[in-house]
Chain A
Amino acid sequence: MTAPQTAPGASPPLVELNAVSLAYGEGREATLALADATMKIGQGEFVAVVGPSGCGKSTLMKLVTGLIPPTSGEVKVRGERVTRPIKGVGMAFQNATLLPWRTTRDNIMLPLEVVQPHKSRLRAERAAYFDKAQKLLASVGLGEFGDKYPWQLSGGMQQRSNVCRALIHEPQILMLDEPFGALDAFTREELWGIMQALWLERRFTAVLVTHDLREAVYLADTVYVMSRRPGRIVKIRKVDLPRPRTLETTFQAEFVDIVHELRERIQMEHG
């Protein structure tokens, strides 16, 4: 089992946040959503951000992807300052937002119609891309469901498709905003396994926003704990449990200890 390649100082981090703050609104009505966040995310690292609800976790995602500019501080990706939506990102939200007029396969192929170089190749190499989508679907157990419409799929299947759509264009960075939040416990745990397998195979850099501590510890190399609004990073915990982690892992003492440690820190925020 290899430890994540995040040896400090070895190579510049892929994503860097330096004293980033974000306020919504202007003047007296401005509310600070995120305060003074500093993070370094290495290439291929799996990061989880946990914290009480409304602590600016989702804001953090929008900042990293350049969807909103920070009020102060700077966000850097690949060493460059982010000023507009960055390239090479995949996103999946709690709400699957699959387009109901497209089949599942066509939904998954949506990024290929937008992102270069796939956009200009898609027409000529339709068959190859079709295969690619089919393989990805099969890898999450949806091989036979490509021609079904999203509303014919269960919630768990929709979320798996959602993750496929986020990965089809082989992004370097995957952003996950509580993607398993609306699922039942069994389905959620099943998807943790699928997510981990995809990551082990492709080694993209992942940022997972969640309020499920077990989910964070199961999937992540590093867990960031955020405070109540305005969100500050109050704890950084490395998780060096061996991979692949299984549901069995979640009952082991080391795993449980880490979850407890995180839980205690978050409890302080509520106290």
Chain B
Amino acid sequence: MAMTARQQRYARLAMPWLTLAVLLIAWELACLVFDVPEIVAPRPSQVFAVMVQRWDLLVRFCLETLWTTMIGFVLAIGFGLLLGLAIGASPFVYAGLYPLLIAFNAIPKVAIVPILMIWLGIGALPAIITAFVISFFPIVVNVATGLATIEPEMRDLMRSLGASNYEILTKVGIPRAMPYLFASLKVAATLAFVGSVLSETVGGNRGIGFLMLSASARNDSATTFAGLFAIAIMGVAVYAACALVERRMTRWAFRGELVR
């Protein structure tokens, strides 16, 4: 049975919700059939009940996490963009910094949170810095790639016109790097959440990570799972916002007709 274009579009929009519903129902049924105790794995219905019941509390802790994540993320964009431009534009900066960046990226960030706590105490600052540190790497790599892959012909053409390196960078390099930047933001935004929640979980007195930690200490697994759901929802929301900005800013990179 053939679907019209419109039906296909609606079906595509409905797919993620359908998949989610199927998964949650399967989870619920599995818990009921195998008689899983709530402390091991609460049923989704129990999690949702807790979410409604403790709505105020959840929203407060969520906003704390969202706030620290966004500050870290914005810092990562600024820093990642500048460093990416420097690395992509200059072979010397590339040679000097790239190996160090790889080494730094390989360090498990959970290891630096205690150090940050010693330096900065507990509170929002370690979470902001962890979010920043974990999310700037993909931005740097993508922006640098966008710059470094300018077609040699385009470079020759600009040089033959007498363009300075600065003109080549602003007229060709930076616009060309934009789709790479926005693609990396989607990845970086979700990583920033990982960073701030990680910091809140290792040690802290605020945010959704702290809420989950204290809930699990009280064997309140329904609240812990409610926290997980909340993080996932925030992650998807920020991802969607980044995707929207990407579409707006670099429409050309989607080659017109493909934009939906």
A binds B: yes
Q: Which of A99, A100, A115, A175 contacts B162 (CB 8 A)?
A: A115
The answer to whether A91 touches B253, judged by C-beta atoms less than 8 angstroms apart, is no
Q: Which of B157, B159, B176 contacts A93 (CB 8 A)?
A: B157
A225 to chain B, nearest CB (A): 25
B interface majority secondary structure: helix
The answer to whether A65 touches B160, judged by C-beta atoms less than 8 angstroms apart, is yes
The answer to whether B255 touches A114, judged by C-beta atoms less than 8 angstroms apart, is no
Contacts of A101 in B (CB 8 A): 175-176, 178, 250, 252-253
Q: Does B9 contact A (CB under 8 A)?
A: no
The answer to whether B162 touches A114, judged by C-beta atoms less than 8 angstroms apart, is yes
* Chain A residue nearest in CB terms to B159: A85
- In the assembled complex, the Cα of A198 lies from the Cα of B168 at a distance in Å of 28
Contacts of B159 in A (CB 8 A): 67, 85
The answer to whether A114 touches B158, judged by C-beta atoms less than 8 angstroms apart, is yes
The answer to whether B156 touches A67, judged by C-beta atoms less than 8 angstroms apart, is yes
Contacts of A113 in B (CB 8 A): 171
- In the assembled complex, the Cα of A62 lies from the Cα of B256 at a distance in Å of 35
A interface majority secondary structure: loop
Interface size on B, residues (CB 8 A): 22
Interface size on A, residues (CB 8 A): 26
Q: Does B35 contact A (CB under 8 A)?
A: no
Q: Does A95 contact B (CB under 8 A)?
A: yes
Q: Which of B153, B171, B252 contacts A110 (CB 8 A)?
A: B171
- In the assembled complex, the Cα of A100 lies from the Cα of B154 at a distance in Å of 12
* Chain A residue nearest in CB terms to B150: A97
Q: Which of B156, B167, B172, B250 contacts A99 (CB 8 A)?
A: B172
Q: Does A149 contact B (CB under 8 A)?
A: yes
Q: Which of B161, B178, B253, B256 contacts A111 (CB 8 A)?
A: B161
Nearest 8 interchain pairs by C-beta: A101-B252, A93-B153, A114-B161, A97-B154, A114-B163, A100-B252, A89-B160, A97-B153
Residues of B within 8 A of A (CB): 151, 153-154, 156-163, 167, 171-172, 175-176, 178, 250, 252-253, 255-256
15 chain-A/chain-B pairs, Cβ below 8 angstroms: A62-B156, A67-B156, A67-B159, A89-B161, A91-B156, A91-B160, A93-B156, A97-B154, A110-B171, A111-B161, A113-B171, A114-B167, A114-B171, A149-B252, A149-B256
Residues of A within 8 A of B (CB): 62, 65-67, 85-87, 89, 91, 93, 95, 97, 99-101, 110-111, 113-116, 149, 151-152, 169, 175
